[in-house]
Structures are given as C-alpha cells and as structure tokens.
C-alpha cells in the first residue's frame, strides 16, 4: 500500500482537464487507476481533514475543528487507518506530513503526529526550510509564512535538496528495504502549500504573462452570505495587489509541478523494484485551494474550489484509466483500503468502501458528500450531490446557499432564496440534517482549544 498525500493541492491538474498546469506524473497515475472527479474533503483545513481521513470518522466525531486539538484526547483507543494495517501484519511507516504539521514551521519535526499509527517515522527537512526562508518574498508581511502569499524560485538548489525531494528519496529507500513484505507506506509531501518555494526550473514552465485571475462577479458578492466570503481577510486576495496575486498563482503552479516530479520518482521506483503489479497506490490532497475565485485564496470555505480534492486510487487488476463521476468523500478511504486488503476494520467507520466504483466507475452510487468549516463561534455545513451544493451558516441563521452545478459550475448564482427552488432547498436541507442535525457545541473542540487564524500553518 503506497499512500501518497499532498498539502493544499486543488484540482488544477492535467488529469482533471486543466490545460495550463503540467502534472505528467499524477496524470500517469490517473491512467493506471480510477480518477474520482467529484471527491470532497470533510473539513478544508489540515488537521481536521487529516484526522478524519486517518480515523474514518467525521470532524463532529473526532472533535478536531482546529490545528491544536488531537483526536486521541477524546478517543484514546481509536484505531487509525495505518494502525489497522500495522496490527494485522503490515510494516507501517510515515515519511513527511500525514497528520498535521505547521507548514513550514514544523518541517523536520513530528508535529501533531500519532505515534500509535506507525512502526517508523521520518521527518526530512530540506533547503526550503533550513536555508532559504530568509529569502522568501512575502507579499502579506502581517501573515506568517504558513498562511501567506509568499514565494521563491530557488536558482541553485536541486530537487533532491528540497524537503519534498528528501521525502521522495527516503520513501524510495523504504520501498527498497521492505519490498519483500506487506507494507503500508504513507508518503506526505509539503507542497504546494505556501510558501510557494520550488526550484526555478518549475517557475520557468509558467510565463507570468500567461497567468490570469478569475473575474469577481459583483452580483455574486451581493447575494452571498457574509460568512461565505470571510475566509480571506482583507477581501480580496488578502489585500495583495492583482499583480502580486498573479505571481502567487504562478508560484503555486510551479510548486504543483515540482511535487508532481517527486511523485514520479516514487512511481518509477515501484516499477523498477517490480512492485507495481502488487501495490495499491492512493493519491489525495487534504483539501482544495482557492486561487482568486470569488476573491478568495487558500481554503476554509464551503465553495467547490476549497472542498473538492484530487483523488486517485490505482488497484492492480481493477479499473484503469477511468474516471468516476460519483460523489465520494475522503472519509471513504479507510473502509476502502481495509476492504481491498481483506482486513478487519473497526466498527463505526462513517465512510463507505469504494470497491464497487473501483470495479466499475459508473456503478450505482447514491451517497452525498459533506464538508464543514468554522467561523468564530458558529459552523458552516455543506452537502454536495451530483447536481447541487447546499450550505447553511449557523444552521441557516446566518444565511444559506444553493448552487446548480449543471447550470452554474463556478457557483456564482445563489438560488437559496429563489421560490422556484424551494423543493430542492427542502430536499438538500433534509440531507444536511442527516449528518449535521445540530451544531456540535458551536463547532468547538471539547477542550475549547484556541483556534488558529484561517489557514495558519496548515
């Protein structure tokens, strides 16, 4: 089991139809498996999302709503995904970021890791952390690097000198060492999370004059509830100029291409070692990422760009080079991988095995996807079906949104108050209440841990 995670990557990839971003290695993986085109995270912030993935439980169950609280504080005996494999005979190891790390602050440490999940852990730190941070251009100087519009094209460093290059090198060494036995190798890359630092050759792929920002529709801003646009302050672009925002978008794309090349090194090693035909490969991002849509940047919104994620599963002998249009959740990873490996999973997992869709990507599937965020003392809850996205803020008291993805895939026309859509609103509200009947203690974790600002170090 090769379990590949990236940090803050949206769906701007070739295999998702993006014509500008160069992602040949991820695209190659998509050609070898099932590419889920409607996959969603449960909370577009690092620790809540990753805790949900690794426990197979929703944030309301793990109680992780911020970057401080650890799920074991309230669930000391929960068996995580990799722990399930570890307990049933697999070598389980982590290289890089799987649980929450302050990025870049905690690179080189174990961050908010979970020791019970692994037999071995490795925390590489490259020149992006150890040498280059003083040179990074931060166009939002009041924000720390972990939640900033900051970038650097490294003109001297090799791929292997950067943290993600070291992550790939260490992971390849572990593949070589443990190729004979069953393994669950979790490989967590740190890019394209800000600061957007990569070797300069990846910046050269994207001429600055070709980088455009999406238009911000004035009519939309008037119809959107205030909490929907409050993840970026000051709005828009954290107060950056349009030119600075375009430079950040270029650097984000460079970081995607850089980490794509490191993933390619892993996939090449699998083939070289003769492991490709008996290894399940999973690729996922912890959440999506805004690049100016609605004037927003980064995450912590309930819009499509924040909630939707790239998600690929490649299983030898099952569907390959196929896309699934079914609505799925990252929560589904745990039951899926346990099912594929024939392991006994804990009771109470809140996702569903995707095995039917891995056999037939167009198989019948009737499960919506749920995403939630936090605004100070109240939550936002969203439900996505194949056609609709419906969102309520503070149980609807602070506004609601309804978007028709058949007619409005960019979510620019809020139909929640349209009388012609009252039946759809009622249906979507009922779906939402199945999972979120009432806000959980205002969405706060049990300890009431101090919340980090939007995207801070996530």
**CA-based angle 13:7:47, to the nearest 5?**
140
pTM (2 d.p.): 0.95
Pairing outcome for strands 400-404 and 388-393: antiparallel
User: For the segment 80-126, what is each residue's pLDDT rounded down to a tens digit?
Assistant: 999 999 999 999 999 999 999 999 999 999 999 999 999 999 999 99
Length of the chain: 458
Number of helices (H), then strands (E), in the chain:
13, 18
In angstroms, the CA 88 to CA 248 distance is: 45
- In the chain the domains, ranked by start, together with CATH numbers, are 2-374 (3.40.720.10)
In angstroms, the CA 216 to CA 184 distance is: 44
442 falls in which pLDDT band (50, 70, 90)? very low
Helical spans, DSSP H, in 327-417 = 333-341, 355-359
Question: In DSSP terms, which residues pair with 154 in a beta bridge?
Answer: 199
CB 356 within 8 A of CB 319: no
At 221 the pLDDT is 82
Residue 125 backbone phi and psi in degrees, to 5:
-140, 125
Task: Please compute the mean of the pLDDT values over residues 236-263 and round it to a whole number.
Answer: 97
Contacts of 438 (CB under 8 A, 6+ apart): 395
Mapping DSSP to helix (H, G, I), strand (E, B) and coil, where does residue 284 land?
A: strand
- Decide if pLDDT at 444 tops 70: no
User: For the segment 162-212, what is each residue's pLDDT rounded down to a tens digit?
Assistant: 999 999 999 999 999 999 999 999 999 999 999 999 999 999 999 999 999
CB 304 within 8 A of CB 411: yes
457 falls in which pLDDT band (50, 70, 90)? low
- Decide if pLDDT at 1 tops 80: yes
At 191 the pLDDT is 98
Catalytic member of 46, 84, 194, 302: 46
Burial class (CB in 10 A: 0-12, 13-18, 19+), 367: middle
Mapping DSSP to helix (H, G, I), strand (E, B) and coil, where does residue 7 land?
A: strand
Catalytic member of 25, 70, 100, 240: 100
In angstroms, the CA 271 to CA 264 distance is: 11
Q: Which residue bears the tokens 């290695």?
A: 25
Contacts of 49 (CB under 8 A, 6+ apart): 41, 42, 43, 286, 287, 330
Distance of alpha carbon 189 from the chain centroid: 11
Contacts of 17 (CB under 8 A, 6+ apart): none
Q: Which residue bears the tokens 């270029």?
A: 250
Q: Is 100 a catalytic residue?
A: yes
458 falls in which pLDDT band (50, 70, 90)? low
Alpha-carbon distances of 348 from 42, 56, 58, 116, rounded to whole Å: 17, 9, 11, 19
DSSP assignment of 13-59 = SGGGT-SS---HHHHHHHHTSEEEEEEE-SSSSHHHHHHHHHHT--H
Q: Is 193 a catalytic residue?
A: no
């Amino acid at each position: 089991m090769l379990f590949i995670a990236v940090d803050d990557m949206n769906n701007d990839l070739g295999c998702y139809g993006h014509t500008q971003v160069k992602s040949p290695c991820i695209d190659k993986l998509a050609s070898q498996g099932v590419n889920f085109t409607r996959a969603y995270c449960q909370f577009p912030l690092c620790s809540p999302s990753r805790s949900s993935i690794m426990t197979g439980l929703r944030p309301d169950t793990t109680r992780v709503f911020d970057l401080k609280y650890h799920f074991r504080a309230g669930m000391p005996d929960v068996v995580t995904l990799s722990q399930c494999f570890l307990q049933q005979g697999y070598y389980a190891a982590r290289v890089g970021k799987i649980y929450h790390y302050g990025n870049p602050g905690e690179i080189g440490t174990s961050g908010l890791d979970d020791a019970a999940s692994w037999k071995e852990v490795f925390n590489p730190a490259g020149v992006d952390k150890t040498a280059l941070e003083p040179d990074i251009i931060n166009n939002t100087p009041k924000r720390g690097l972990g939640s900033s519009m900051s970038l650097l094209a490294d003109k001297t460093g090799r791929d292997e000198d950067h943290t993600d290059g070291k992550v790939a090198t260490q992971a390849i060494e572990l593949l070589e060492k443990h190729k004979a036995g069953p393994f669950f190798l979790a490989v967590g890359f740190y890019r394209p999370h800000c600061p957007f630092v990569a070797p300069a050759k990846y910046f050269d792929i994207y001429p600055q004059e070709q980088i455009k920002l999406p238009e911000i529709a004035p009519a939309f801003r008037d119809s959107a509830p205030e909490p929907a646009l409050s993840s970026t302050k000051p709005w828009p672009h954290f107060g950056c100029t349009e030119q600075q925002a375009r430079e950040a978008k270029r650097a984000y794309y460079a970081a995607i291409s850089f980490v794509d090349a490191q993933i390619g090194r892993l996939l090449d090693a699998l083939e070289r070692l003769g492991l490709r035909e008996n290894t399940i490969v999973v690729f996922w991002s912890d959440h999506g990422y805004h690049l100016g849509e609605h004037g927003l940047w980064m995450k912590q919104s309930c819009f499509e760009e924040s909630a939707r994620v790239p998600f690929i599963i490649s299983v030898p002998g099952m569907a390959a080079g196929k896309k699934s249009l079914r609505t799925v959740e990252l929560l589904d990873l745990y039951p899926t991988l346990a099912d594929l490996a024939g392991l006994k999973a804990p009771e109470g997992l809140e996702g569903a095995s995707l095995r039917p869709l891995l056999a037939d990507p167009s198989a019948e599937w009737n499960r919506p996807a749920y995403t939630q965020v936090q605004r100070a003392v109240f939550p936002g809850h969203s439900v996505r079906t194949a056609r609709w996205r419906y969102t309520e803020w503070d149980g609807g008291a602070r506004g609601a949104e309804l978007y028709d993805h058949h007619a409005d895939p960019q979510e620019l026309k809020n139909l929640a108050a349209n009388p012609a859509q009252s039946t759809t609103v009622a249906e979507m509200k009922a779906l939402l209440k199945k999972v979120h009947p009432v806000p959980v203690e205002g969405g706060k974790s049990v300890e009431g841990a101090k919340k980090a600002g939007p995207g801070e170090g996530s």
